[in-house]
Amino acid sequence: MKKVIVIILLYMISYIYPILVYAEEKTGYYIEVNITQNIVSIYDQNGVIQKTFYCSTGGVTPTGTYYTSDKYPWRMLFGNVYGQYATRIHSNILFHSVPYSHTDKSSLKYEEYNKLGQKASSGCIRLAVKDAKWIYDNCDSGTKVYLYKSSEPLESLPKPPFKIDVNDLEKRGWDPTDPDLNNPWKKIVQWIDDTPVFFKEMIITYHNENYDCDGFIYEDRTYLCRDDINKIFYKYANSESQTISEDIVSVSLDDIVYYRLRDIIDENNLLIEWNDNKMIIRNYEIMPYEQEEYELEESIEKQPNQEDDFVNEEDDKQNNFNLESNMLDKIDIIRN
């Protein structure tokens, strides 16, 4: 009988105080918000720092330890504005994006975006969209959040936030970090070793088939992720299980590995041409290089006093040799 009573009491306690039990739940990450310096730091459960990013706190942002709860893809905020990827910290204090005038991703309060890294909110923790989305996607409800004030140097500092040109009528209404495919910024704001890298939508043409992909230029080289590489190179490879060798140069952004296109091209015996945002990939074995396929007239500089209407046989051979050499040089120096 006593055992039954104990079980009933335990059930009643768990029913009456579900929030307390819920708050002690362990999740994959732990978050600190330095209100003084407007910096958010993400730690794993071993206390190893994983990410940092700038935020905007406010004069009434509370200090203390809290646990996240509700999440909202869009949330109406104080002042009749809206935030993307909102995660509730405590009461009416949330992580969320810089505010928008409407639930429209092109209605960003761009002047507020440029305040990231300084106090600007009514109390919530404002973030760039990619950072608000990262918390929304990766930090489960019940994640511990510690808000505090300190001027002491931090273990790790984030990259400086990108500044929007308020006179850029085309793009200023969008958060530059928003991954939406309609974003006119085309996901340009990422950083590698203090260097901004610029994402761009590209089309790869291979065997007269077009494939959309995202890549970026870094140190005059183009990088693609494995999924986009799979669209092309694995489809036409001899082995369905072809792997990318360790010799391929790669970089990592937001936990995604991107591989240098030139290395992939060379390893697969392919050729590549550039035309603005379009890349033409050729399989050298199937479509061998033919001089007449390339329009090189504009790249051939005429020598002084060169005649257009007369070329002797010896000069003709030399010109053909130079033409082929120029084309091979051009392929080697193509920015990719």
Residue 292's Cβ-side half-sphere holds a number of Cα atoms within 13 Å equal to 0
Cβ atoms within 10 A of the Cβ of 134, count?
22
Q: Which of 55, 102, 124, 225 is catalytic?
A: 124
Burial zone of 326 (CB within 10 Å; 0-12 exposed, 13-18 middle, 19+ buried): middle
Helices and strands counted in the chain (H then E): 7, 17
Cβ atoms within 10 A of the Cβ of 66, count?
20
Q: DSSP code of 61?
A: P
Q: Which of 90, 96, 102, 207 is catalytic?
A: 96
User: Strand 125-127 to strand 93-97: parallel, antiparallel, or no bridges (unpaired)?
Assistant: parallel
Backbone phi and psi for residue 209, each to the nearest 5 degrees, phi listed first: -110, 140
First-to-last CA distance in the chain?
A: 77
- 207 as an active site residue: the answer is no
The beta-carbon contacts of 233-242 under 8 Å, at least 24 apart in sequence, are 233/264, 233/268, 233/270, 235/206, 236/206, 236/207, 236/283, 237/268
Whether the CA torsion 283, 264, 188, 105 is positive or negative: it is positive
One-letter identity of residue 179 = P
- 124 as an active site residue: the answer is yes
Residue 139's Cβ-side half-sphere holds a number of Cα atoms within 13 Å equal to 32
Alpha helices in the chain (DSSP H): 2-16, 18-23, 110-113, 129-138, 226-229, 261-267, 313-333
Catalytic machinery residues: 96, 124
